[in-house]
Each structure stands twice: as structure tokens, then as C-alpha cells.
């Protein structure tokens, strides 16, 4: 049978843990033979879980994993032509380097001479020739990680999985190892699936990047695609530095955002609500009269090869990278060429959630009564002398039969650090934040398991526990028939 071009295919893979938590959701991916694919995303987004399923250490609760077109979902790890390098080197401390690398081959009862030859070869490959008799404790972190890589490569896997393999190394060593790993990949021609939360690492090493957030794929593409054409605000914010603004298309190839009007290259219909992404290096500082927008410099930081200049322009904050310095207090103009603007259709961030009618015939959410008139939501209804709700025919309404959803815009939710305040409807922790020029957009993982999106002008921290307050006048209710 001829080998298919895709060495690995993941089809609709999900992993729901025993506690009900969904770590990976509907993950679809094709990996070509010999490709260098990187899973990139913040801590906790499901990278390791996905890798463990490919390796066979964990099983998907849904979906199929194909190797060369064959389903291997039920194959144990040692039957898969796959080896894994973990962030923690996990070498055997009481064995020398030779024994550490030879361990797996000895288990397979391979001949002594063949083992010696193979160990020598992989030690050369990781630049540790002659290290056979050294003990693990005499090696630096970088050298130990090379041994871990050699130990995986000695099995001659078709696929090498690397889970944040450089995460424990210092910056200089990490940069060196990035280059060496990439060279190793090119030399060996085997498929690498690499995991990192470091966007720069992903951009420099990969043929293909899979950007993940909260168990879901956000975008798959080449490093250039991901950087230049992010598909949503999450990707734009996570990859590189970005100015991200909400805006609207005001004409053909014309967008309005950040208090200015800009010509762009993305052909999006007039009237569309948009998210505009502008990289700091694509903004030029001009004289105030020559810019599309104007403002006052509020900070200047020298970053080695450029200055990072922050400008307050009306309500908006704009970050610029420039090789020319500026002074705090300078009045400047800012100019962006059409191809420096990336326009995306705005995501609908309206929060939608179900509310219940309780036994007291009042509206309730998360066990708290809402101060809302049910008679206005249920047309023709009225209350009797016992305050029970009657329908238009005068019959008692059964709360079980009433389904009402509530919608709230992100800017109409307030956050408080006093999660026990009686005004708080639901509490949770901040799992994501994106700066939008004049406010932050937050994702709150609530105790109910449902995420809320909240816009707030103040900076909160990832992981902060917050209570959400929604005023009655900002809730819109819809009765479901």
C-alpha cells in the first residue's frame, strides 16, 4: 500500500475529562509527512492533551486519529511509530548517558553492537559525541535536553512529538536549541509535532502553526499567514504586538476606527462592524497635520532595535514601533498605509444565557431573583391576587414550560473584585483579555461553566476572580415558544 501524503490526521477529536471538563473540542488537523507542525497557545489551552492523544497516552472521547490513513485510536503507545520529548527531561539519574539512550533498545532485545552504533549516531546528531560514559548529573540543562532528544530519536520514530522541550532552558540556550532542532528536523526528514506557548519560537521554527485557545483551533496556517492574516482578534493579539480596534466600514475599501478614517485593502461591505488590526511597525509618526489621526506621546521605551512609542489619541491608545525616538508630550500625527491594516469582520460578542421562572413566579438566574417584570415578557399575562402568573386565557402558567433567554452586551456588564457582593449575578475568573485601544475585552469563565464576555476600560489580571453585575435595564429578554 502506498503511503498517503498525510502521515497523521485528527478528525473531530474531543477530550472530555472525567470531571466533565472539555480540554479539547472538535480538533481537526492534517499533518503532512516530514512537516514541522507547531501547536501554539496559552497555558491550559489543550496542547499537551492533544499531543498525549497522538502519542496514545490518552484516548479521545470522540473522533479518530489516522496514521497513514489507518485508524490508530485504540493502538497502545508502544505500537505507534511515535516518540515524545517532554519539557522535564526525565532522564534516569543513576544511569550514564549511554545507558539512558540505550534503555529502550535493550528492552527491545537489540544486539549490543547495533545498540552501540545507534547510540553513537544519535549522540553525534545532538552534538554530544563522546559523552557515552558521562553521568547525567554532570550535564547542563541544555545538554540533558539533548540527551532526552537523542533517547527519543534512537528509536527512529516516524513522528517526533516535542512538548515545550525548551521551556526549562534560559533564553540564550533556547535560541541555540531552536536552530539545532530545526536543522535536525531538516536533516532527518521525520515529522515533528512541536508544542509551545512562545509565539516567536513557533514563528521561527514551523512549517505550519495551529493556534489554539480554550481547547479549540483558532487558525491553522504558515507563520506568514498567521502573522499577516490573523483570522480573529485572539490570533492577532496572541501573535506579535498589535493594535486592535473596533470599527465600521464607511465606504468601499474605507474603514473608520481609532477616531480616524483609513483606506484599506480588504474588501468588506459598507456598514459592516469590524475589528481592525494594525501592527506597531506599520504605523509611521508624522507631523500632526499629516497623519490620519493625531495624539500626544505618553511613553517612549528603547527596545534595542527600535523605540516603542505610546500615543494617546482621543479615547484610544496607539502603540508604535519606530527607529526614530520621540519625547513624552510630543504632539504627533500617525499614518498607516492601506496594506498595514488588516480588517476582520467583528465577532458578535453579545452574551446570551437562559433564565428560569422560579416557583415564586419570578425570573431567576443563578439562584438570584431578577428585578424584571415577567408580565411584560410574556405577552397577555397578568398576576392574580397570590402574585401567580396567569396566561392570556387566565390559566396558571407552568414555570417548567417557560423558556426565556437573556442577552447582554459586553459593555453593559460591570466587574467587581467583591464576588460575594449581593448585586453580583455570577462570579468567575478572567481567562482571556485583549486590549482594544480604548478598552479591554475580557473572557470570564463563570462558576456556571458558561463564559461571559465583558468590556471594561480598566486593566484586570488573568486569573482574577471577579463578580459580574448586570443592571436590569441592560438585560433584554426573549420568550422562546
Q: Which residues sit at the interface with Mg ion, rule CB under 5 A?
A: 48
How far, in Å, are 124, 195, 428, 478 from residue 349 at the CA level?
Answer: 54, 29, 18, 17
List the grid coordinates of 148. Answer: 532526552
Tell me whether residue 99 or residue 451 sits nearer to ligand ADP (CB atom).
451
Rounded CA separation 108/446 (Å): 50
H-only helix segments in 73-161: 97-107, 112-125, 141-153
Rounded CA separation 333/335 (Å): 7
Of 371, 328, 343, 205, which Cα lies nearest the Cα of 262? 343
> Would you say the C-alpha torsion 69, 73, 75, 79 has a positive or negative sign?
positive
Minimum distance from residue 203 beta carbon to ligand ADP (Å): 18
Tell me whether residue 164 or residue 317 sits nearer to Mg ion (CB atom).
164
Tell me whether residue 49 or residue 243 sits nearer to ligand ADP (CB atom).
49
Of 196, 208, 139, 190, which Cα lies nearest the Cα of 165? 196
Which of ligand ADP, Mg ion, none does residue 291 bind (CB under 5 to 8 Å by kind)?
A: none
List the grid coordinates of 105. Answer: 533498545
Minimum distance from residue 283 beta carbon to ligand ADP (Å): 32
How far, in Å, are 14, 49, 155 from residue 60 at the CA level?
Answer: 6, 9, 25
* Dihedral class, residue 105 (left if φ above 0, else alpha if ψ from -120 to 50, else beta): alpha
Tell me whether residue 43 or residue 376 sits nearer to ligand ADP (CB atom).
43
Minimum distance from residue 49 beta carbon to Mg ion (Å): 8
Tell me whether residue 396 or residue 462 sits nearer to Mg ion (CB atom).
462
Quick check: 291 and 334 in contact, CB under 8 A?
yes
Which of ligand ADP, Mg ion, none does residue 100 bind (CB under 5 to 8 Å by kind)?
A: none
Which of Mg ion, ligand ADP, none does residue 19 bind (CB under 5 to 8 Å by kind)?
A: ligand ADP
Minimum distance from residue 419 beta carbon to ligand ADP (Å): 20
Quick check: 292 and 262 in contact, CB under 8 A?
yes
Rounded CA separation 47/212 (Å): 8
Residue 101, Cα to own-chain centre: how many angstroms? 35
Which of ligand ADP, Mg ion, none does residue 467 bind (CB under 5 to 8 Å by kind)?
A: none
Which of Mg ion, ligand ADP, none does residue 21 bind (CB under 5 to 8 Å by kind)?
A: ligand ADP
What is the contact surface with ligand ADP in residues (CB under 6 A)? 17, 19, 21, 23, 41, 43-49
Tell me whether residue 150 or residue 161 sits nearer to Mg ion (CB atom).
161
With a CB cutoff of 8 Å and minimum separation 6, the contacts of 282 are 336, 337, 340, 341
Which of Mg ion, ligand ADP, none does residue 385 bind (CB under 5 to 8 Å by kind)?
A: none
Minimum distance from residue 360 beta carbon to Mg ion (Å): 47
Which of ligand ADP, Mg ion, none does residue 147 bind (CB under 5 to 8 Å by kind)?
A: none
Tell me whether residue 48 or residue 441 sits nearer to ligand ADP (CB atom).
48
Tell me whether residue 23 or residue 475 sits nearer to ligand ADP (CB atom).
23
Minimum distance from residue 82 beta carbon to ligand ADP (Å): 17
Minimum distance from residue 217 beta carbon to Mg ion (Å): 16
Backbone phi, psi, residue 55, to 5°: -75, -25
Neighbours of 36 (CB within 10 A): 21
Quick check: 304 and 348 in contact, CB under 8 A?
no
List the grid coordinates of 237. Answer: 493579539
Minimum distance from residue 175 beta carbon to ligand ADP (Å): 22
Helix (H, G, I), strand (E, B) or coil at 14: strand
Tell me whether residue 19 or residue 348 sits nearer to ligand ADP (CB atom).
19
Which of ligand ADP, Mg ion, none does residue 260 bind (CB under 5 to 8 Å by kind)?
A: none
With a CB cutoff of 8 Å and minimum separation 6, the contacts of 41 are 47, 197, 211, 212, 213, 218, 238
Rounded CA separation 130/139 (Å): 13
Which of Mg ion, ligand ADP, none does residue 473 bind (CB under 5 to 8 Å by kind)?
A: none
Q: Using CB atoms, what's the residue nearest to Mg ion?
A: 48
Tell me whether residue 53 or residue 336 sits nearer to ligand ADP (CB atom).
53
Minimum distance from residue 10 beta carbon to ligand ADP (Å): 14
Tell me whether residue 196 or residue 313 sits nearer to Mg ion (CB atom).
196
The two beta strands, 363-365 and 159-163, are unpaired
Minimum distance from residue 47 beta carbon to Mg ion (Å): 5
Tell me whether residue 48 or residue 412 sits nearer to Mg ion (CB atom).
48
Which of Mg ion, ligand ADP, none does residue 275 bind (CB under 5 to 8 Å by kind)?
A: none
Minimum distance from residue 48 beta carbon to Mg ion (Å): 3
Identify the residue whose cell numbers are 431567576: 364
Burial class of residue 110 in the structure, from the number of CB atoms within 10 Å of its CB (0-12 exposed, 13-18 middle, 19+ buried):
middle
Minimum distance from residue 291 beta carbon to ligand ADP (Å): 41
* DSSP strands (E only) in 292-362: 293-302, 307-313, 316-322, 331-336, 341-345, 351-357
Which of Mg ion, ligand ADP, none does residue 293 bind (CB under 5 to 8 Å by kind)?
A: none
Which of Mg ion, ligand ADP, none does residue 196 bind (CB under 5 to 8 Å by kind)?
A: none
Amino acid at each position: 500500500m502506498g503511503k498517503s501524503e498525510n502521515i497523521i490526521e485528527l478528525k473531530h477529536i474531543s477530550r472530555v475529562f472525567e470531571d466533565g471538563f472539555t480540554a479539547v473540542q472538535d480538533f481537526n488537523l492534517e499533518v503532512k509527512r516530514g512537516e514541522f507542525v507547531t501547536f501554539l497557545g496559552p497555558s491550559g489551552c489543550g496542547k499537551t492533551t492533544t499531543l498525549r492523544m497522538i502519542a496514545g497516552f490518552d484516548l479521545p472521547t470522540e473522533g479518530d486519529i489516522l496514521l497513514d490513513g489507518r485508524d490508530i485510536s485504540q493502538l497502545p503507545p508502544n505500537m505507534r511509530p511515535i516518540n515524545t520529548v517532554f519539557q522535564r527531561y526525565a532522564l534516569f539519574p543513576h544511569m550514564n548517558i549511554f545507558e539512558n539512550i540505550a534503555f529502550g533498545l535493550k528492552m527491545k532485545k537489540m544486539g549490543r553492537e547495533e545498540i552501540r552504533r545507534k547510540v553513537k549516531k544519535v549522540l553525534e546528531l545532538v552534538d554530544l559525541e563522546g559523552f557515552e560514559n558521562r553521568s547525567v548529573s554532570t550535564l547542563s540543562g541544555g545538554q540533558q535536553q539533548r540527551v532526552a532528544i537523542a533517547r527519543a530519536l534512537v528509536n527512529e520514530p516516524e513522528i517526533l512529538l516535542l512538548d515545550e522541550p525548551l521551556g526549562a532552558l534560559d533564553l540564550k540556550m533556547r535560541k541555540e536549541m531552536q536552530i539545532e532542532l530545526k536543522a535536525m528536523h531538516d536533516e532527518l526528514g521525520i515529522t515533528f509535532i512541536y508544542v509551545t506557548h512562545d509565539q516567536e519560537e513557533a514563528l521561527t521554527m514551523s512549517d505550519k502553526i495551529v493556534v489554539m485557545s480554550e481547547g479549540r483551533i483558532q487558525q491553522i496556517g504558515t507563520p506568514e499567514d498567521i502573522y499577516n492574516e490573523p483570522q480573529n482578534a485572539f490570533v492577532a493579539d496572541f501573535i506579535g504586538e498589535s493594535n486592535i480596534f473596533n470599527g465600521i466600514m464607511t465606504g468601499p475599501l474605507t474603514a473608520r476606527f481609532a477616531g480616524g478614517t483609513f483606506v484599506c485593502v480588504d474588501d468588506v461591505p459598507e456598514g459592516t462592524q469590524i475589528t481592525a488590526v494594525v501592527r506597531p511597525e506599520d504605523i509611521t509618526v508624522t507631523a500632526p497635520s499629516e497623519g490620519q489621526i493625531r495624539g500626544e506621546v505618553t511613553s517612549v521605551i528603547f527596545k534595542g532595535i527600535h523605540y516603542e512609542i505610546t500615543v494617546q489619541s482621543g479615547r484610544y491608545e496607539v502603540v508604535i514601533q519606530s527607529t526614530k525616538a520621540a519625547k513624552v508630550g510630543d504632539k504627533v500625527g500617525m499614518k498607516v498605509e492601506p496594506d498595514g491594516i488588516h480588517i476582520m469582520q467583528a465577532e458578535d460578542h453579545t452574551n446570551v444565557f437562559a433564565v428560569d421562572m422560579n416557583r415564586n413566579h419570578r425570573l431567576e438566574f443563578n439562584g438570584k431573583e431578577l428585578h424584571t417584570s415577567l408580565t411584560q415578557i410574556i405577552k397577555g399575562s397578568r398576576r392574580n391576587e397570590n402574585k401567580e402568573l396567569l396566561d392570556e386565557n387566565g390559566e396558571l402558567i407552568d414555570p417548567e414550560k417557560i423558556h426565556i433567554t437573556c442577552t447582554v452586551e459586553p459593555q453593559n456588564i460591570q466587574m467587581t473584585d467583591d464576588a460575594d457582593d449581593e448585586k453580583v449575578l455570577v462570579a468567575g475568573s478572567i481567562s482571556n483579555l485583549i486590549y482594544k485601544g480604548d478598552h479591554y475585552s475580557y473572557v470570564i469563565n463563570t462558576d456556571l461553566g458558561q463564559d461571559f464576555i465583558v468590556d471594561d476600560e480598566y486593566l484586570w489580571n488573568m486569573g482574577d476572580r471577579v463578580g459580574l453585575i448586570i443592571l436590569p435595564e441592560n438585560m433584554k429578554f426573549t420568550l422562546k415558544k
